[in-house]
Every structure is written in structure tokens, then in C-alpha cells.
């Protein structure tokens, strides 16, 4: 068993990140589903869909929910899932975060949350300028 992962984002962001991460890794080592939240969606219907998806992903080790923007509709839907036990949410998903999470399928939920946060944070860098390219 391992932690399931649910990605809840605006539009197709989550599915695109998942497709890219799977392509980079060559496979997907854990159960992951992406839930698209259109701008004109009914949040209650999406919550019901998300709840059903969590039930599919939950194998006894919990579910990590990754969302795009804290406080947005996808994040608010995710936060309502926390009424269930074994759910943790991390917002601000980016490709480095997702890759980090997928590289540690054996970790417990609490440890995977930490990997998600450090992966997302460490993936944001100011790129050095190329020598001689200035002015």
C-alpha cells in the first residue's frame, strides 16, 4: 500500500502536470488522479466528485491532496475533504513538487507532505545570468 495522491486544480493544470511528471519519470509509481475545476463549476458537485476520488485512492495509508492556489475554489474543495481522516493538503503545486512526491512512494503521509513542501520550495530558483550577456 502507499499514499494516494489527488491533484485538484483550475482547468487542466493538474492533469498537464501529472502527464509531464509521468513522462519525465517514465512511469507513475503511485495511484494519482487529477480533478479539473472549471471556473464555472458547481463546487458542491466537484466536492462530491473529489470525495469519490479520495475513496478510490484511499488504501489505508491516506491521501495527499495537492492544489494550485491557496484559498481558491480547488483549495476550498480540498479543505472540505479534511473532514475525513488521513487527508493532508498542500497548495502551490508545481512540477518540482509533484516530481519529488512521486519519487518517494514508500513514505508515510506526514513525510510525503514534507517532501511536497520542500520539493515545491526548492524548485523555485533565480537563474544566474550568463557571463557576458549583460548590456
For residue 13, give the CATH number of its domain: 3.40.50.510
pLDDT of residue 132: 60
Give helix 95-102 / helix 109-122 axis angle, nearest 10°.
140
Report pLDDT digits (tens) over 44-60.
999 999 999 999 999 99
Q: Is residue 134 part of a domain?
A: no
pTM of the model: 0.93
Task: Place 7 in a pLDDT band, splitting at 50, 70 and 90.
Answer: very high
Q: Which three cell numbers stand for residue 56?
A: 478510490
Rounded Cα distance between 26 and 29, Å, is 10
Rounded Cα distance between 67 and 77, Å, is 9
Which residues partner with 7 through β-bridges? 34, 66
Task: Place 133 in a pLDDT band, splitting at 50, 70 and 90.
Answer: low
81: containing domain: 4-122
Rounded Cα distance between 47 and 52, Å, is 9
pLDDT of residue 24: 97
Q: Is residue 127 part of a domain?
A: no
pLDDT over 60 (residue 134): no
Q: Is residue 107 part of a domain?
A: yes
Report pLDDT digits (tens) over 61-70.
999 999 999 9
The DSSP result for 87-102, as a single string, is EEEEES--HHHHHHHH
Q: Cα dihedral sign for 7, 32, 80, 51?
A: positive
Q: Is residue 97 part of a domain?
A: yes
Report pLDDT digits (tens) over 80-132.
999 888 999 999 999 999 999 999 999 999 999 999 999 999 999 999 988 76
pLDDT of residue 119: 97
Q: Is residue 130 part of a domain?
A: no
Q: Is residue 53 part of a domain?
A: yes
Count of structural domains within the chain:
1
pLDDT of residue 130: 83
pLDDT over 80 (residue 135): no
Q: Cα dist. 71→13, 25, 68, 92, 134 in Å?
A: 17, 30, 9, 11, 40
CA 8 from chain center: how many Å? 7
Amino acid at each position: 500500500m502507499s499514499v494516494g495522491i489527488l491533484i485538484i486544480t483550475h482547468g487542466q493544470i493538474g492533469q498537464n502536470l501529472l502527464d509531464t511528471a509521468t513522462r519525465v519519470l517514465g512511469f507513475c509509481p503511485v495511484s494519482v488522479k487529477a480533478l479539473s475545476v472549471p471556473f464555472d463549476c458547481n463546487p458542491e458537485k466537484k466536492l462530491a466528485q473529489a470525495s469519490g476520488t479520495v475513496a478510490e485512492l484511499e488504501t489505508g495509508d491516506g491521501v495527499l491532496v495537492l492544489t494550485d492556489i491557496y484559498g481558491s475554489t480547488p483549495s476550498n474543495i480540498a479543505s472540505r475533504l479534511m473532514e475525513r481522516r488521513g487527508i493532508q493538503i498542500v497548495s502551490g503545486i508545481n512540477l518540482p513538487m509533484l516530481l519529488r512526491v512521486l519519487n518517494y512512494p514508500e513514505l508515510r503521509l506526514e513525510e510525503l507532505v514534507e517532501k511536497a513542501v520542500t520539493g515545491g520550495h526548492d524548485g523555485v530558483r533565480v537563474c544566474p545570468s550568463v557571463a557576458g550577456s549583460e548590456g
